[in-house]
Amino acid sequence: MSIDLQTVKKIASLSRISVTDAEAEAMVPELNNILGWVEQLGEVDVTGIEPMTAVIPNHQRLREDAVTDGDVRDKVLANAPQAEHGFFAVPKVIE
Amino acid sequence: MSNNLTDLTVAEIRDGFRGGDFSAREVAEAFNANVAGAKALNAFIVETPEKALEAADAADKAKAAGEALGALAGVPIGMKDLFCTEGVQTTAASHMLEGFTPTYESTVSGKLWAAGAGMLGKLNLDQFAMGSSNETSYYGNVISPWRRGGGDNAALAPGGSSGGSSSAIAARLCPAATGTDTGGSIRQPAAFTGISGIKPTYGRCSRWGIVAFASSLDQAGPMARTVRDNAILLETMSGFDPRDSTSLDLAVPQWEANLTSDLKGKKVGIPKEYRPDGLNAEIAALWDRGIEWLKDAGAEVVEVSLPHTKYALPTYYIIAPAEASSNLARYDGVRYGQRDLPDGAGLQDMYAATRALGFGPEVKRRIMIGTYVLSAGFYDAYYTQAQKVRALIARDFEQAFEKCDLLLTPTAPSASFALGEKQADPLAMYLNDVFTVPASLAGLPAMAVPGGLDSQGLPLGLQIIGKALDEQTVLNAGLAIEERAGFNARPDKWW
């Protein structure tokens, strides 16, 4: 299975990374190389094997349903590229 | 004594400070001077000499007042710039986070400061910890202090991603540093620079406040010049943290107090799949010496098989990018970091422009691979399959550990290479992690210790892999090798 220029542009769009045509073209062989190499996993017999999601057995902990943090608005906003009136500011999204 | 304070180990600094041989301030000043004089190595992104002095003065004052001293009182260290440090820029070596100044402290760095350690600065690394040569940093390559013999002055890679840490320790800019290891990022740089480093069992060190790369693999750990120093730092860095859902709720063992190089009764497994055709002859020879050293320490040696070893790298290069594509979705130009807002751009355009500006080529490559393998129609073929093979790789280790207590392997397939040598081919770079990735996928503790120099005069490392939660055996075997290898080579100062 190999990917073409259109697919690279689609992946870039899904990834929210803008790419020029030249960048996308350069990525076609790069990504194909890597994806072609990882495809060897298809030859492994995984019959009856459950996908691993946690490497070291652990359990989900519960804690008391109580507020443990918060009230730090200014700290949360301190690194925002644009913060106004105590909010994150973004370009207009409703025309 | 004061002339060579920077040659001391963490244990020697700790004990010498307590014994009154020197003040913490003298130590901090000596390391600050070495850091300031080593710009050519580019090991630090931010230097914080004032932080080192502040901690040193606090330690001196506490000692004078007869107060209880923290485990690391008087010891200055380097902090990989992947750990959030309150009030000190944290970039993950990316443009995206340039200027990001956390308003909180990571759990691991906070524990180190609470124990009395001082911060010499934030260490350079591969961008978002993605790389094996420290060539993907937005702030420039880190240079290894090592050079090949025979007047070859080619700039060599300090390994990656913790390349600032390894370079700084080998060059005596700090006695120890933090690292993080996702697929070998502590062990491979340690091997390249002739130092030691341990990745503990997944869940030992809290991930809270560490810039995330691949959350099911990321583990913090120490790097230093001796095994004992690694044990000392790891004790401080480890421990349960309710803010990390994968943190292990277990007591921290006394690894330093229980260090012993007596391996009687221990069985060392030698995995045959780690000796492929074409394995570098000098590395194979060092591995054989390592086997003899462990036998000499009283261990019995057995051959074991890890049949899915060859699938570990491709598994890693599905799982790690998949998790990275999800973790790095947070960089959207809204909450922190850079923003690129072209004229007239809407919100979606702003995301895409910001991420095009803020991420380097390797980071983009991995996000895109991760996005692809998680996308509709490909998820099962790539991601689910990789998770299943990961289970088989972990099972290989479980079965091997029915026959032995630890594994001995080389750390990396080669010594350090020249900068630029592997840059053109991402796959060739990925292959550098062939011996370190399997233990990462299985969450096992693994350590690199220096074993000797190759014919070019460059360090080579051995790797010890242990059972889950058995860092003690890993450290003990590391100590047994350290005592027998007698590795005391150091790079000649040229910087």
DSSP string, chain A: ----HHHHHHHHHHTT----HHHHHHHHHHHHHHHHHHGGGGGS--TTPPPP--SS--------S---S---HHHHHTT-SSEETTEE-------
- Is the CB of A15 inside 8 Å of chain B's CB atoms? yes
Cβ–Cβ gap B441/A55 under 8 Å: yes
How far lies B140's CA from each of B44, B178, B194, in Å? 10, 20, 22
Q: Which residues of B are part of the catalytic machinery?
A: 80, 161, 185
Q: What percentage of chain A reaches a pLDDT higher than 70?
A: 98
- Is the CB of A61 inside 8 Å of chain B's CB atoms? yes
What is chain A's Cα-based Rg?
23
The mean of the pLDDT values for chain B is 97
Cβ–Cβ gap A55/B104 under 8 Å: no
- B131, two tokens: 């790389």
Q: What is the mean pLDDT of residues B196-206?
A: 98
Q: What is the dihedral of CA B408, B406, B483, B168, to 10 degrees?
A: 70
- Tokens 């583990």 belong to B219
Cβ–Cβ gap B391/A50 under 8 Å: yes
Question: Would you say how long chain B is, in residues?
Answer: 495
In this complex, the residue of B314, B334, B355 whose CB is nearest that of residue A38 is B314
pLDDT of residue B2: 40
At B359, give phi and psi (nearest 5°): -100, 140
Model confidence pLDDT, tens digit, residues B25-70:
999 999 999 999 999 999 999 999 999 999 999 999 999 999 999 9
Which of A43, A56, A69 is the best substitution to test chain B (most B C-beta atoms within 10 A)? Answer: A56
The residues with which B418 forms a beta bridge, in sequence order, are B156
Chain B closest-CA separation from residue A14 CA (Å): 7
More confident call, B297 vs A57: B297
- From CA B314, how far away is CA B365, in angstroms rounded? 15
- Name the CATH topology of A5-41: Histone, subunit A (1.10.20)
Which of B103, B374, B397, B465 is the best substitution to test chain A (most A C-beta atoms within 10 A)? Answer: B103
- From CA A15, how far away is CA A33, in angstroms rounded? 19
Model confidence pLDDT, tens digit, residues B343-352:
999 999 999 9
Q: What is the mean pLDDT of residues B120-140?
A: 97
Q: Which residues on B lie below 8 Å from A19 (Cβ)?
A: 356
In this complex, the residue of A51, A76, A92 whose CB is nearest that of residue B391 is A51
Q: How confident is the model at residue B424 (pLDDT cuts 50, 70, 90)?
A: confident
In this complex, the residue of A27, A41, A58 whose CB is nearest that of residue B386 is A41
Cβ–Cβ gap B353/A18 under 8 Å: yes
In this complex, the residue of A51, A60, A88 whose CB is nearest that of residue B388 is A51
In this complex, the residue of B317, B329, B356 whose CB is nearest that of residue A38 is B317
Residue B107, number of CB atoms within 10 A of its CB = 25
A vs B, Cβ pairs < 8 A, gives: 163
Chain B closest-CA separation from residue A18 CA (Å): 5
User: Domain ranges in chain B?
Assistant: 2-260+411-485
Q: Is residue A95 over pLDDT 70?
A: no
Q: Is residue B470 over pLDDT 90?
A: yes
- Is the CB of A35 inside 8 Å of chain B's CB atoms? yes
pLDDT of residue B1: 41
- Is the CB of A22 inside 8 Å of chain B's CB atoms? no
Which of B246, B335, B393, B423 is the best substitution to test chain A (most A C-beta atoms within 10 A)? Answer: B335
Cβ–Cβ gap B368/A42 under 8 Å: no
Q: What is the mean pLDDT of residues B103-110?
A: 98
pLDDT of residue B486: 97
pLDDT of residue B426: 83
Chain B closest-CA separation from residue A41 CA (Å): 7
User: Domain ranges in chain A?
Assistant: 5-41
Q: What is the mean pLDDT of residues A60-84?
A: 93
Q: Which residues on A lie below 8 Å from B372 (Cβ)?
A: 3, 7, 11, 31, 35
- Asked if residue B314 lies in contact with residue B390, where contact means CB atoms within 8 angstroms, the answer is no
Q: Is residue A93 over pLDDT 50?
A: yes
- B95, two tokens: 């443009």
In this complex, the residue of A31, A56, A91 whose CB is nearest that of residue B347 is A91
What is chain B's Cα-based Rg?
21
Cβ–Cβ gap B314/A41 under 8 Å: yes
- Is the CB of A13 inside 8 Å of chain B's CB atoms? yes
Cβ–Cβ gap B371/A11 under 8 Å: yes
Cβ–Cβ gap B311/A12 under 8 Å: no
Which of A9, A19, A79 is the best substitution to test chain B (most B C-beta atoms within 10 A)? Answer: A79
Chain A closest-CA separation from residue B382 CA (Å): 8
From B144, B194, B41, B147, select the one nearest B456 (Cα to Cα): B147
pLDDT of residue B196: 98
Instruction: Tell me if the domain spanning B2-260+411-485 has CATH number 3.90.1300.10.
Output: yes
Q: Which residues on A lie below 8 Å from B389 (Cβ)?
A: 41, 44, 46
Q: How confident is the model at residue B110 (pLDDT cuts 50, 70, 90)?
A: very high
Strands B118-123 and B76-80: parallel
More confident call, A57 vs B148: B148
Strands B300-304 and B267-271: parallel
Cβ–Cβ gap A35/B338 under 8 Å: no
A-chain residue closest to B347, CA distance: A91
Q: Count Cα atoms within 13 angstroms, Cβ side, for B57.
A: 6
The residues with which B47 forms a beta bridge, in sequence order, are B121
- B106, two tokens: 């990571």
Q: Which residues on B lie below 8 Å from A27 (Cβ)?
A: 365, 368
pLDDT of residue B427: 85
More confident call, B311 vs B150: B311
Q: Is residue B324 over pLDDT 90?
A: yes
Q: Is residue B170 over pLDDT 70?
A: yes
- Where is average pLDDT lowest: A54-63, A71-80, B147-156, B298-307? A54-63
pLDDT of residue B3: 55
How far lies B28's CA from each of B37, B42, B329, B489, in Å? 14, 20, 39, 24
Q: How confident is the model at residue A1 (pLDDT cuts 50, 70, 90)?
A: low
- From CA B261, how far away is CA B448, in angstroms rounded? 16
